[in-house]
Amino acid sequence: MIIKKNYINYVVCPNGFGHFSRAAILIKQLVKNNININLYTKKNKWLKFHPSKSQYINIINIENLPEAEDYKSKKDYGNFFENLSIKLSNTHLLTISDNYPELLLKNNNIILMCNFFWHKEIKPVISKKKQILLTKLIKNSKFNIFGNKYFAKNYIKNLPKYYSLEFFDNKKIVNKSKEIKNIFIAIGFGNHHNDYKTKILNLTKRIKNKNKKYNFFYDTNFQISKKTINLDNSMLKKIDIIIGRPSLGIVNKSFNYQIPFIPILFKDDKECFENGKIIKKMFGRKTIDLYSYFFNFHLRFKEFKFKYNSEKILSDYIVKNIL
């Protein structure tokens, strides 16, 4: 491990797409500020999304970092989190922890990035004794925590050292059509039930039956059609509306490109269920009448006056605390 004053540790949850996409944007900004990163995550999974290498990033493979499904299991991660927490503490570097408050167990030099806690939304993966200690550490709030202004849970926002951020990356200037031509059907990379896919695809069929003129493109995780695509920047410029699972990663992208998002809710997916309810409250109820939603979304979108480039705010804060 290389230890320098302008180094930080960054532990990134490998669940889904949102954590990695947010991390990539923040890391890019940190590198601009001459910050080097010891990145702790599942290496193969990270490289699948971000294959390019950088001299500023040292990837440390943590193969057994728990994901959503692991929080549903009976496995105890108490020793794992304590050992990782001690390892990070021994580097004497500031640690950014994306979604793992458990790392507070043996390390207080931490900034948390969380919109929710897995142990509250699903269940704890550490012993009752350690969970009681963790709850006390969280309540004492000797750490700073950053979350999304619109999507962070209230129990996150109510912490004394909570700071609101809005959306990562910049707002894209795109000449959007006033017609709906291309629709993207999203399911995302997180852990989700097959019944969730079925629910989304059933709504898609209803829309298809009502209007044959739309072009449908499907998330690669559906694995059902030749029209499956990766939703990269070039494709985002062409998409007129997104329908599906509202994980925060793709919601952030839709807001960057001002693309109306129709969330499909599924109660067993707690994070996306709550995200979907928030989007509905912002822009109106889900409707098969796409045009009424489409125009209402664009009208309301202007009223919100969302802020972007939150990675700059967070990066500046990190730099201030380590240099």
What pLDDT is attached to residue 4?
A: 58
Q: What is the CATH number of the domain that holds 25?
A: 3.40.50.2000
In a domain, 2, yes or no: no
Same domain flag for 18 and 152: yes
Please state the domain count of the chain. 2
Task: Provide the 10 A C-beta neighbour count for residue 21.
Answer: 21
Q: Is position 175 within any domain?
A: no
Do 294 and 313 share a domain, yes or no? Answer: no
Q: Do 89 and 187 reside in the same domain of the chain?
A: no
How far, rounded to the nearest angstrom, does the alpha carbon of residue 128 sit from its chain's CA centroid?
28
Per-residue buried b or exposed e for 120-152, using 16+ beta carbons within 10 Å of the residue's own CB: eebebbbeeebbeebeebbeeeebbbbbbebbb
Same-domain pairing of 317 and 293: no
Cβ–Cβ under 8 Å, residues 10 and 27: yes
Rounded to the nearest 10 degrees, what angle do helices 248-256 and 18-32 cross at?
60
- Mind giving me the DSSP string for 48-61? HH-----TTEEEEE
pLDDT of the chain, 323 residues: tens digit per residue:
444 569 999 999 999 888 999 999 999 999 999 999 999 999 999 998 888 888 999 999 999 999 988 999 999 999 999 999 999 999 999 999 999 999 999 999 999 999 999 999 999 999 999 999 999 999 987 899 999 999 999 999 999 999 999 999 999 988 767 789 999 999 987 667 789 999 999 999 998 888 888 999 998 888 666 677 778 888 899 999 999 999 999 999 999 999 999 999 999 888 899 999 999 999 986 555 788 888 889 889 989 999 999 999 999 999 998 87
**Shared-domain flag, residues 53 and 109:** yes
Q: Are residues 148 and 246 in the same domain?
A: no
Instruction: For residues 261 and 164, state if they share a domain.
Output: no
Are the CB atoms for 315 and 30 separated by under 8 Å? yes
Q: Let me know if residue 318 belongs to a domain.
A: yes
- 221 CB-near residues (< 8 Å, 6+ apart): 187, 188, 189
CA 321/CA 312 separation, integer angstroms: 14
318/48 Cα distance (integer angstroms)? 27
Instruction: Output the CA–CA distances (angstroms, integers) from residue 139 to 116, 131, 159, 196, in the order listed.
Output: 15, 12, 7, 35
If asked whether residues 11 and 159 sit together in one domain, one would say yes
Domain assignment present for residue 246? The answer is yes
CA distance 289 to 275: 21
Say what the pLDDT of residue 224 is: 67
Is 15 found in the same domain as 120?
yes
Domain that holds residue 85: 7-169+309-322
pLDDT for the residue 285: 66
- Domain assignment present for residue 177? The answer is no
Domain CATH for 213: 3.40.50
Res 1: pLDDT? 42
Residues 54 and 152 in one domain: yes
Q: What is the pLDDT of residue 220?
A: 85
Q: Is 143 inside a domain boundary?
A: yes
The vertex-198 CA angle with 195 and 201, nearest 5°, equals 155
- The backbone torsions φ and ψ at residue 279, rounded to the nearest 5 degrees and listed phi first, read -65, -40
Residue 174 lies in a domain: no
Same domain for 143 and 11 = yes
Structural domain includes residue 1: no
Does one domain contain both 12 and 132?
A: yes
